[in-house]
Structures are given as C-alpha cells and as structure tokens.
Chains A and B, each alone.
Chain A
C-alpha cells in the first residue's frame, strides 16, 4: 500500500505494528479477566451445585480463543521484531564467534 507521492508521510505501517504489540500486551490481561469470571459465577449460583461442566466448556473456549489470538498476533509481530532488531542482532557478537547464524534471517 504505497501512499501517493503527494500524500503526507503518515508511517502507517509502523503505527500499525506498534498497535499490534499493544494488542499483544493487552491480550493476557484481557485473558486473565475472562479466566477469572468463573469466580463470580460460583458466588451467584446455587452453592450446593457447582456448575463444573459448563465452567469446563467455558474455560476451554476462552483458552482456545487466547491461543488463536496469540497466533494471529505472533506472525506479524515476529516480522516487526525481526525487521526492527535486524541491525542490533547482527551487531551482537554475543558469544563465541562460531555460534550459529540463525538469528540473522
């Protein structure tokens, strides 16, 4: 998506990538809240009968959602990271020189 020559320099891709990492940071918090919801249901429902079965289904659904969301974010984030760190990765002599060059994509 190339901006027109006369358009403003908006740096859209960089902005979006930053928002991606924001989303990735927000995801666990969101997930934690969702996973804690069963606590509330316990108190409201009838105390003699805890609804394990439905809770189980609910928890696994949330779990799957978290995994899918993380998977969706991981690929673009990875590209962002690598593009960002390319120079610093190559500068890092890190340890012994014979270490594998796998990090320089």
Chain B
C-alpha cells in the first residue's frame, strides 16, 4: 500500500530529491527481504550468530567499495549496462550466448527466493489472522500465496513497464523501495525496542539471557563462518535485484561513497535486535513455536496488536518490494537476451514494419508473469516446509556462480567468452547437482540411494560428498566444489581460447575504464547511416516523443536546426546505448548493423573492409614494386652498357699506348743491335752501343714489370701483406731506396720525426713503393737550385696523411688531372727514364689499400698527399 501511494507521487515526475544519496542507499535495502524479518530470527535461534554473516559479507564489500563496486558502477554508467546479464554479455564481445546463460542462472536461482517471499507473506498473514502456526491446510495457504503472486504481477506490470527507459531506470520504483526501507527499519526497530525494554529488563538482561541460552549448535563453525561471509559478499554483487538498484539505477558515483558506510549502517541496525528477539522468543514462547515468526508472535503474546501489525506490514512490504524489483530485473534480462533475439531472428525481414516498442513491452510483461508463475510453482512444489534460511542460501549460491566471470571480466583483459561460458556452465551444473536438486528433498530429484551411494553406484560422485570430501556440510561442500571448478574452467578456458576483436575491444574498455576516454567514436564510420532511417527505427524502439527529443537534442548539440542530426560516430554510439536500454546491448548492436542493408559499419564490418583494403593494398604495392624494379633494371642495364663501351674504348687506347711505349725502346734495341751485327766498330763504340741496348732492355723490363704490377693492382688480384708498421720506418726505407735516383743531386729532406711515430696497419711494402715513386719523382723533376723535400705526417679521422712537398715550381692546374693517367709525362721522356706509369701505379696501390693520392695545390712546389686509413679495412669488392 505504501508502495502504491509513493509510486503515484513519484510518477508525477518529482525528480530532484530522487538524486540524493540517501535514496540510493535506502534502495539498496532491497537486500533485506522478508528473510530478514522472519528467516533471520529463526536462523539465529537455531544456529546462533551465524546469521550475521549474511550482513557482514555485504558490509565488507561496501566498505571496500574502491575495490570492485566503484569499477562496476563506472562501467555500468559508461556502457549503459541494463542488467547483470547485459554486463557479462557486453564484456565478452556482446555475446548473446552468455546473456542467455546468465539470464537462465538468475531465473533458476531467483525462483526459490521468490517462493520464499510468498511463503513468508502467507505464514505471517496466517499468524496475524489468528490461525495456528503449524499444520495449516494446504488450500488456504495456497490461495493466499496465489493471490499475492497475482497482485504482485499486476503491480509490477503496471509500474515497472510503463515505458522503456534508455537507461533502464525506474525512479518511481526506486523511491518506493526507499520509503519501504524506512518502514522496514522502523518496524523491526520497534519490535526490537519493545522486546528489549518492554519485555525484558533492558540490555543487561538480554545479555544474561544470551549467556544462559547458549546451547549446542550455536558455536561458530569456522568453515561456515568464512564460507557464508564470502557467499553473502558475492551475492550482494551478483543478485539481479542488487545489481539493478546498485549499478543500473545509479545516477551518481558519489552516491556510492555515501552508501559505503550508510548501507552497512542500515544493515547493522536491521540486525541489531535479531538476536535479542530470538533469545526472548526461546525464553518466552512455547517449545514448539516456529522461531521464524517470533517477530510477530512475541508482540502478539503481549497483546501488542498494533506493533504486530506494524511488523507484519514491514515484512509484507519487504517481501513485495523484493519480488517487484527482482521480477523487473529478471524480466529485463529475459526479454533482452532471450525473447528479443529470437523475435528478431524470426522476423528478420519484416521487423521494421512492426512497432518494436510495443513488442518489447509485451515481452517484458509476459516475462514478469512467467517469473511469478515460476516462483509460485516452486512454492507449491517445495511444500513450504523447509526452513526459510536454507532456501535463501541456495539461491545465493546460484547467483554467486556469476562472480568469477564478473570479477574476472572487469579486471582481467585475458578473460574470454569461452572461459566465462565454461565457468558459468560448470559452476551452475555443480551447484544444481550438489545443492539445488538435493534440496527438493530426498526422493524428489535424487533418490536417497543416489545420495548415499552416488549415481550408478559411483561412490566418488555422491552429490554431497564429491570426490570423497565428506567432512563438509552440504552448503560449504557445494560452495567449495562449484567455485573450484567454476574458477578453474574460467581460467583455463580463457587462457586456451583466443578472443575475437569485439571481445578484446570490450575487454580494454571495461578493464581500463578508469583510464580511457569512455567514448570510442572510431567504432562507427561517419555518414554511412542515414539519419532518417535511424529516426524511424528509434521511434519504433524508444517511442515517438523520446526518439524525437533525443534526435533534436543531438541536432541542437551539433548546431543544426530540426530533427535530423548528422550521423557522427558519437551520435550513433549514443543511439546504440539508448537502444541497449530497451533491447539489450547485443540486440541494439545487431539492429543498427542491420539498418540500411549493411551500410552501417560495426567493428566486424570495419575489420572485414580493412582486410579487403589491406589485400588490395598489398596487391597494388606488389605491382608497383615490380614496375619500379623493371625501370631500375633497365636503367642499370643501360649504364652497364655505357660503361662497357667506355671500357672498350679505354682498352683500345691503352693497347695502342702500350704498343707505342714498347715499340720505342724495341726500335732502339733492334737498331743498335743491327749496327753491332753489320759494322765493324771500335770497342768503345761497341761498348757504348751495348750499354744503350742494355739500358733500353732494362727500360723495357721495367715497363713490363710496371704494366704487370698495374694490371695486378687493377684487377684487385694483388696479395696484400697487411702488418703493423711505423710510418717512420716506411719513410726511412723509401728515402734510402730513392736516393739511388739522381744520386748527384743533394736534397734537403725536412721531416718531423715526432709525428712519424704513428703505427699503421697496412701493407708496408706497397706504401714504401708509393713513397719511393714520389720521392724519385721529386728528385727527377724538382727544378729548384737548392732542392728541398718536405715530408709531413698527420692524422685525422682515422686516416693517415703524408705529404711530399718540394720547392720546385709545381704543376699547373690543367695538368694536375693528367699526371695520374697512364703514360702521362709532363716533360721529355728520355730525361725521365721512366715509362710514365709511376703515379698511375701509386693510385692503384692506394686504391687497393682503401686510401688515395692527390695533388695538393697551393703549396708553392709540387705537393702530393697520400691518405691511407690507419687500420686497413679489408679487401674491397
């Protein structure tokens, strides 16, 4: 009733005070359901303090909000997540399979819990109506439960599916829950205060009663203490109704900071009086009384009917709000991940012509009805006699299977769809096998024989003692094995499989949500979708007014007038998010892809296009390369041809020169030997002519030697004897050898001995040959009256430089190029006595030694510089 009234008000659109953190925190109270009212007290009276774990777990999760919750909320807001199934599906590449799996898990796990609420309402109603608390008649309770279920379905359909909100937020319902939270709290506190001060003698009295009432079965069992705390912590994150109010309905992350202490505070206050009530009940009520209902029966026993009424109201409203929120959350999931995809596939060709929005709403409404029907069915089936506490925990364990995939997904980029699917499936199967099915009671799902001996007699597969671990109680046993296999399968599956690109993109987006720019505009390509078609579709999905206002706002933001913005990537992205609110992320994605016959681009499409483009690019590049190669080859061939022609010309020239050079001395030799043969000559003349012949012969020999040397040098076939030699030694040797040339001339040799102490790794003998040549030339051609030769040694940049400078009158500029040519002589040849090959040979030698020789102009006289690397680099070519 409270809910109705508030809902009416909130629906009128009072938005401002909704944004307070208080409302957010109070809405989280949906965690406390009728179980808190009834089941907790019963649990406390049976097992002592263990019930506190159900509230301590969430306390730890919220106090530690920075670890998980903050990231979850951030992702939820940025990705427009509409449910936990949507989150998982979206994270792992918008996989519909995962969406389906998670939806099914949630439905299966929530059904018992809904049944639990129905049971609480029924029992409490019966108590209040004065009937006895045991041995009720089935039809009576059945009809109560039935009508409650129907009423809830109607209410939820009316207020939960009025319109499709892009963010899937229901501010009216949230407000209603917040108000109901206050009612719950007041009710429970009121009963508690009454019990402690009204019935007992105050806190100290309660304390003493506690000590007295300590019975076996109240001691804390370590495995259960830890396990249940963990379970409750997992549940507060993964329960669909908790996810809905915590993440989906969240408007402001700052609210989370407030909730981090305010929600635990609420939980603490709610559980404060549970133990006192339990203790008083055990003390005061008859031994066979149902401890679950102490909250009602205690005030009633004291004649406090109004208080009991208040308590009933609290319990009733908490049960109903749980069912409402849970069914909305579940219906969203079912319609987005199961119904709509099937619908789309079936109507793929014609869906544009139907009104999508009303289809979605219809799907939602049917889902709500179905879920409540399931809950009612379970209630009927289970006979309504199992202790309430057990059902709640079984339900928690079911949804908790989502935790590994969830936490892994938001923290680990390596988590993949395959891993998540495997983990979820295995976890749920083990949960069903070890906990869910056995809970129907012996012989319902599993016969007692199977429970004892395992299926087909396989002892190690006993449902409650898998692999021989029989020391744990069933709940912990199930917790251990289901999580063990879940996590193992998740890890191994993720490590062994390779994610598709959308998965990886989503992985980065989720895991790095605090670092990255939340928008990924590169996913849509500009201008490939027409705004008008988008508008038509949006009108169908979101409704006319909503779509129009969305579009016009976007147009306005872009600086355009009217209703049609440009389809920028950002805009399409926003649109996809709005659609996701109505039909789920995967479906929205598919829809926008389908639009305009594939002209829009998704990541997959982009990649396909990119692939093709890449292939084309490679192909054309190859063609280009071939072309280039062709032109290069032709050019090279042409150059080679030219060179060959040149060489051939050079060779001819060389041959003619050589034959000329050879012929000249040969002519002399023949001439004089002929004279010697024919005439009778005096002996001095004979001697003179013989000497001439000898000299010419020598000249020929030298010429041939030089030619040979040159040829060897030019062919690079020379064998170099590379050693460490000292410049000074080389110069000394050269001077001594060259002093044979024109020995009559006295030269002044200028040297700088200190600088000649350099060691060089090269062919010393060849260098000496070069130096001898240069020094001999100087001795032959230096025209100065008092001839001087300066030899200076220097080094720079790894090169050794030796200059030979005389004080003659140098060589004129135009001749400087000629002197290194073969057979080039600047003066009369007979005077020189050489063949003109000296400098050519020097040049070849130095070329072989990776050095060079050049004429140094501007030194006054003839100057040559020999440059050779300090360290012979090795043979070339």
Contacts and interface: CB of A to CB of B under 8 A. Distances in A.
A28 B67 contact: yes
B573 to A, nearest CB: 8
B63 interface: yes
A35 B64 CA distance: 14
A67 B268 CA distance: 9
B48 A78 contact: no
A95 B66 contact: no
Interface string A50-63: 11110111011001
Contacts of A28: 60-61, 63-64, 67
A67 B261 contact: yes
Interface in B51-79: 52, 56, 59-67, 77-78
Interface in B570-586: 570, 574, 577-578, 581
Contact of B49 (A43, A55, A103, A105): A55
Contacts of A94: 77-78, 80, 518, 574, 577
B554 A81 contact: no
Contact of B64 (A27, A60, A98, A105): A27
Given A92-B518, A100-B19, A63 B264 contact: yes
Contact of B59 (A63, A68, A95): A63
B268 A63 contact: yes
Contacts of A31: 59-60, 63-64
B223 to A, nearest CB: 9
A69 B570 CA distance: 42
A96 B704 CA distance: 98
Nearest to B573: A93
B564 interface: no
A74 B66 CA distance: 10
Given A56-B210, A59-B49, A95 B80 contact: yes
A48 B229 CA distance: 24
A80 to B, nearest CB: 10
Nearest to A105: B254
* Nearest 7 Cβ contacts at the A-B interface: A28-B64, A70-B261, A50-B219, A71-B261, A53-B210, A97-B553, A78-B257
B225 interface: yes
Given A77-B257, A96-B550, A35 B48 contact: no
A99 B167 contact: yes
Interface in A80-102: 81-82, 85, 88, 91-100, 102
B554 A52 contact: no
Interface of A: 21, 24-25, 27-29, 31-32, 35-36, 38-39, 42-43, 47-53, 55-57, 59-60, 63-64, 66-71, 73-75, 77-78, 81-82, 85, 88, 91-100, 102-103, 105
A91 B78 CA distance: 11
Contact of B167 (A39, A77, A95): A95
B813 interface: no
For B52, B67, B167, B220, the residue with the greatest tally of chain A CB atoms inside 10 Å of its CB is B220
A98 B78 contact: no
Nearest to B213: A52
A74 B581 CA distance: 31
Contacts of B684: none
A67 B264 contact: yes
B270 to A, nearest CB: 12
A53 B211 contact: yes
A99 to B, nearest CB: 7
Interface in B204-219: 207, 210-211, 213-214, 216, 218-219
A102 B214 contact: no
A36 B226 contact: yes
B22 to A, nearest CB: 13
B275 interface: yes
B252 interface: yes
Nearest to A104: B252
B59 A81 contact: no
Interface of B: 15, 19, 48-49, 52, 56, 59-67, 77-78, 80, 166-167, 207, 210-211, 213-214, 216, 218-220, 222, 225-226, 229, 251-254, 257-258, 260-262, 264-265, 268, 272, 275, 517-519, 546, 549-550, 553-554, 557, 570, 574, 577-578, 581
Contact of A74 (B214, B225, B261, B275): B261
Given A53-B210, A95-B80, A81 B166 contact: no
A103 B225 contact: no
B49 A52 contact: yes
B540 to A, nearest CB: 16
A21 B222 contact: no
Contacts of B251: 100, 102-103
B37 to A, nearest CB: 19
A92 B78 contact: yes
A91 B570 CA distance: 12
Contact of B56 (A35, A49, A92): A35
Given A24-B66, A96-B166, A100-B19, A38 B225 contact: yes
Contacts of B220: 38-39, 42, 50, 55
Given A50-B218, A52-B49, 14 more contacts: A31-B60, A38-B49, A48-B216, A66-B60, A74-B257, A74-B261, A77-B257, A81-B254, A88-B517, A94-B577, A95-B167, A95-B581, A96-B578, A97-B554
B550 A82 contact: no
12 contacts: A27-B64, A31-B60, A35-B60, A36-B225, A47-B219, A59-B56, A60-B268, A63-B59, A67-B63, A94-B77, A95-B166, A95-B581
A74 B257 CA distance: 5
A88 B519 CA distance: 10
Contacts of B56: 35, 59, 63
Contacts of A96: 166-167, 546, 550, 553, 574, 577-578
B257 A42 contact: no
A98 B713 CA distance: 89
Nearest to B553: A97
A29 to B, nearest CB: 7
A68 B251 CA distance: 25
A31 B162 CA distance: 43
Contact of A52 (B62, B210, B254, B577): B210
Contact of B214 (A38, A52, A93, A100): A52
Given A36-B225, A50-B214, A55-B49, A42 B219 contact: yes
A56 B261 contact: no
Contacts of A63: 56, 59, 264, 268
Contacts of A38: 49, 220, 225
Contact of A56 (B49, B219, B253, B258): B49
Most-contacted residue by chain B among A82, A94, A99 (CB, 10 A): A94
Contacts of B61: 28
Given A53-B210, A66-B63, A96-B166, A82 B225 contact: no
Contact of B275 (A56, A78, A105): A56
Contacts of B546: 96
A103 B581 contact: no
B222 A27 contact: no
Which of A25, A38, A56 neighbours the largest number of chain B CB atoms within 10 Å of its CB?
Answer: A56
Contact of A97 (B52, B253, B550): B550
Contacts of B49: 38, 52, 55-56, 59
Contacts of B557: 97
A51 B219 CA distance: 8
A51 to B, nearest CB: 8
Contacts of A32: 60, 229
Contacts of A91: 517-519
A39 B225 contact: yes
Contacts of B60: 28, 31-32, 35, 66
B48 A52 contact: yes
A39 B210 contact: no
A37 B48 CA distance: 16
A35 B50 CA distance: 12
Nearest to A92: B518
Given A63-B56, A102-B251, A27 B63 contact: yes
